[in-house]
Amino acid sequence: MNYLIKNAHAILTGLAGEAARIQADSIRIGNGVTTEIGSSLSLQANETVIDARDCVIYPAWVNTHHHLFQSLLKGEPQGLNQSLTPWLASTPYRFRGAFDEESFRLAARIGLIELLRSGCGTVADHHYLYWPNMPFDGAEILFDEADRLGLRFILCRGGGTLTRGLEAELPQALRPEKFENVIADIERLVSKYHDSRPQAFKRIVMAPTTALHSTTPEQLRETAQVARRLGIRLHSHLSETVDYLDAARAKFGMTPVQFCAEHDWVGEDVWFAHLVKLLPEEIQLLGQTKTGIAHCPQSNARLGSGIADLVTLEKAGMNISIGVDGAASNEAADMLSETHATWMLQRARKGMFAQPKYDGGTFEGGADAATVEDVIRWGTQGGAQVLGLSDIGTLEVGQQADLVVYQLDDPRYMGLHDMAIGPVASGGQAQIKHMLIGGKTVIENNHIPNLDMRELAAQAREAVKKLQQRAEKMALAS
């Protein structure tokens, strides 16, 4: 359909500087593309009007790091108060073998719906639930569920080929894959799903679970070679905690970033999740190569890992994006919660390192570390840039019509002197009056077509019980 969105209170574009806001109240959309932005645009033939009175319009969010299977592992008691390494053992690894096709599909559906209802239009899922002779194809399920909702979906194909030589003692779900099988599956996925166009709805990414631990150095270098031969991007976890630095020095005699650079894992086609603990020379190397980051502030805070310094990373030349990470370490895995946390925590981080002045000067805090407009740019244009989707991420003429019309009528947003910043600055779950992805309606009046939310909640409760029972049985068996 062709649309005319009119009477908007404010339009934020996802661009930098003065272009972040435009003096306009109307957007015209034709054939899935933004064709005109202006004030008081007149209705044309065959256009449907969307009245955005008292609403603000943002580009649809681009989430660059997730683990959708964890949507059924929120608030899991054994891992709730653990830091990264013990949490991994307590929750995601303990439950991974408990997932069957039905529970995995339900987890993916819940996670994608949670994201969509926050205004997220593009999802990159770091899917690492792989083991030999798996009984279901997780990639097929993920693409199918995203397609049903109208989302753009990027599969970051994870997994690993190392388990420290304990393969014979491990349960099936924790056993490593053979490297040649991983490469063969990547080639299969690229042939079946990958779309290289800048407005793609489906893409594949080479994404071993961790660059340091999931594969051998030789295999890591080969994954980079295969990815670039296939024309796909590269993604992994890196430097989430100081343990990464200690491990890289002990195993390889260098820093984590140096190790990645030595094995061709830096560049504009590479982005890493987290990057919380970086040395100055690592920041310089990442900036010089324009490597990207998926910043996951809520998960990093929940696990006690720290706060990545986005301001310094961007000044160094890195490409900045935002990801929600898995719901098992982030019980609010949506982009509004994540961008709100990004805005707050960048300021907190700068304030933490500000020095008081005892000579009568004024304390220099961090309230100017990042603006709402910065956060919107990171969460939209920045994400599109990291994923190589140049036709999305901003509200501009000629771009794909991926946008969300927020209706800020909840008391949380009342009293705002600048309504435009409400969805990020005030947080919460803003009502979505209308949302388009590629010019197609995916949400109208806060409703996703053909979705029974009560039934979904009931299915989730039942699935959690079954997962707990299966995990207990597997623990007893081992």
* Complete DSSP assignment for 165-205: T-GGGS-GGGPPPPHHHHHHHHHHHHHHH---STT-SEEEE
Q: Please, what sign has the CA dihedral across residues 234, 262, 219, 273?
A: negative
* Nearest to 142, CA basis, from 191, 106, 88: 106
Tokens 């919660």 found at = 337
Amino acid identity of residue 109, one-letter, is: R
Quick one: how many helices (H) and strands (E) in the chain? 16, 17
Task: Judge whether 292 and 273 are in contact, CB under 8 Å.
Answer: no
Distance, in Å, from the CA atom of 384 to the CA atom of 68, rounded to the nearest integer, reads 20
Predicted local distance difference test score (pLDDT) of residue 365? 74
What are residue 235's phi and psi, to 5 degrees?
Answer: -150, 145
User: What phi-psi label fits residue 10: left (phi over 0), alpha (psi between -120 and 50 degrees) or beta?
Assistant: beta
**What's the longest Cα–Cα distance across the chain?**
70
- Alpha-carbon distances of 374 from 98, 196, 379, 423, rounded to whole Å: 41, 28, 9, 14
* Complete DSSP assignment for 365-420: -STTS--HHHHHHIIIIIHHHHHT-TTSSS--TTSB--EEEEE--SGGGTT-S-GG
Domains 1-58+393-442 and 60-382 share a fold: no
Looking at the domain covering 1-58+393-442, what would its CATH class be? mainly beta
Predicted local distance difference test score (pLDDT) of residue 476? 86
Q: What is the pLDDT of residues 333-378, one digit of tens each?
A: 999 999 999 999 999 999 888 766 656 666 667 899 999 999 999 9
pTM over 0.85: yes
Distance, in Å, from the CA atom of 230 to the CA atom of 96, rounded to the nearest integer, reads 29
Distance, in Å, from the CA atom of 332 to the CA atom of 112, rounded to the nearest integer, reads 12
Q: What is the pLDDT of residues 425-440, one digit of tens each?
A: 999 999 999 999 999 9
Task: List the chain domain ranges.
Answer: 1-58+393-442, 60-382
SS (H, E, C) 30-64: ECCEEEEEECCCCCCCCEEEEECECEEEEECEEEC
- Alpha-carbon distances of 221 from 17, 208, 225, 250, 274, rounded to whole Å: 38, 11, 6, 20, 21
Predicted local distance difference test score (pLDDT) of residue 144? 98
Those residues of the chain that have pLDDT short of 50 are 165-168
User: 203-222: string of b/e by CB count within 10 Å (b at 16+)?
Assistant: bbbbbbbbbbbbbeeebbeb
Quote the crossing angle between the two packed helices 138-149 and 101-116, to the nearest 10°. 40
Distance, in Å, from the CA atom of 41 to the CA atom of 31, rounded to the nearest integer, reads 18
Distance, in Å, from the CA atom of 193 to the CA atom of 204, rounded to the nearest integer, reads 7
Pick the CATH number of 60-382 from 3.40.50.300, 1.20.1250.20, 3.20.20.140, 3.40.640.10: 3.20.20.140
Task: Judge whether 66 and 125 are in contact, CB under 8 Å.
Answer: yes
Task: Judge whether 295 and 312 are in contact, CB under 8 Å.
Answer: no
Distance, in Å, from the CA atom of 342 to the CA atom of 225, rounded to the nearest integer, reads 34
Amino acid identity of residue 245, one-letter, is: L
Predicted local distance difference test score (pLDDT) of residue 166? 45
DSSP state of 209: S
